[in-house]
Amino acid sequence: MDIKSLIRDIPDFPKPGILFRDLTTLLRDPEGLRYTIDAFAQKCVEANLSPDYVVGIESRGFIVGPPLAYQLRAGFIPVRKPGKLPAAVHTVEYQLEYGRDKLEVHQDALQEGTRVLIVDDLIATGGTAKASADLVHKVGCNLLGFGFIVELQELEGRQQLPDLPIVTLVEY
Ligand code: AMP
C-alpha cells in the first residue's frame, strides 16, 4: 500500500515555512490504518524489537503507540507534557527552538532494566524523541530503539538519537 498517498500535506502550518505532514487522513482510512499498524509491528519484529512497553510521546504517540503495543503484546506507557500525569513523575527538561520544555513519565511505570520502545507519529528535528530517550535512560531502562511512521530526513533527527535501531515506514 502507498501510505504516502494517504498523508496530506498542509503548507504553512502551524506557522509560515512549515510543511505539515497530516496523518489524520491516513488514520481515517480503514485499510490505511490497518496496513500502517500491521507494517509498523512487522518491521519492529524484523528489527528484533520486542519491548515490555511501548512508550508513546504526547500527543500523536498516543495514537500510534497503543495499537502497536497491542500487536507486539507489550504494554503502553505515556510520556506527557508537564502537569498532566496524576501520580509521582520523573521529569526531563529539553531545549526547544525558542526556550525550554519538559516531559514527564510516572515513576512507577518504568523500572531499571525494563525493555522499552519509544514511538511517535513523526520524527522531525529529533528533539522530542531525544528527550524521551533521556527520560527512560534516567530511570535505567533498557531502551531497545525507536519507531516513527514518518521521518523528515533533511532535518537529520536521527543524528540526535542514541545509536539504536530506528523503524520508520515513510521518508520525506
Ligand atoms: P521533533 O522534536 O522536531 O522531532 O518534532 C516531533 C514532533 O513534532 C512530532 O510529534 C510531530 O508530530 C511534530 N512535527 C514536527 N514537524 C512536523 C511536520 N512537518 N509535520 C507534522 N508533524 C510535525
Q: For the chain, which domains are there?
A: 49-171 (3.40.50.2020)
The CA 122 to ligand 1 mean position distance, Å, reads 6
pLDDT exceeds cutoff 90 at 12: yes
- Can you give the pLDDT at residue 137? 97
Q: What is the mean pLDDT of the chain?
A: 97
Pairing, β 89-95 against β 115-123 = unpaired
CB of 124 within 6 A of ligand 1: the answer is yes
State the alpha helices, DSSP H only, in the chain: 24-28, 30-46, 61-71, 127-138
**pLDDT tens digit string along 97-142?**
788 999 999 999 999 999 999 999 999 999 999 999 999 999 999 9
Q: Which of 58, 60, 115, 158 is catalytic?
A: 60
pLDDT exceeds cutoff 80 at 32: yes
Is 148 within 8 Å of 113 (Cβ atoms)? no
3-state helix, strand, coil in the chain (%, to 5): 35, 35, 35
pTM equals 0.97
Is 67 within 8 Å of 73 (Cβ atoms)? no
- The closest-lying atom of ligand 1 relative to the alpha carbon of residue 128 is 2
For 50, the grid coordinates are 520486542
Q: Which of 31, 97, 112, 154 is catalytic?
A: 97
Is 145 within 8 Å of 166 (Cβ atoms)? yes
Higher confidence at residue 88 or residue 96? 88
Q: What percent of the chain lies above the pLDDT cut of 70?
A: 100
Is 9 within 8 Å of 24 (Cβ atoms)? no
Please choose from 25, 92, 128 the residue to mutate so as to test ligand 1's pocket, defined by most ligand atoms within 8 A of CB: 128
**pLDDT tens digit string along 136-149?**
999 999 999 999 99
CB of 121 within 6 A of ligand 1: the answer is yes
CB of 127 within 6 A of ligand 1: the answer is yes
Catalytic site includes residue 156:
no
State phi, psi for 37 to the nearest 5 degrees. -70, -40
- Can you give the pLDDT at residue 165? 98
Q: Would you place residue 96 in the very low, low, confident or very high pLDDT band (cuts 50, 70, 90)?
A: confident
pLDDT exceeds cutoff 90 at 156: yes
Catalytic site includes residue 28:
no
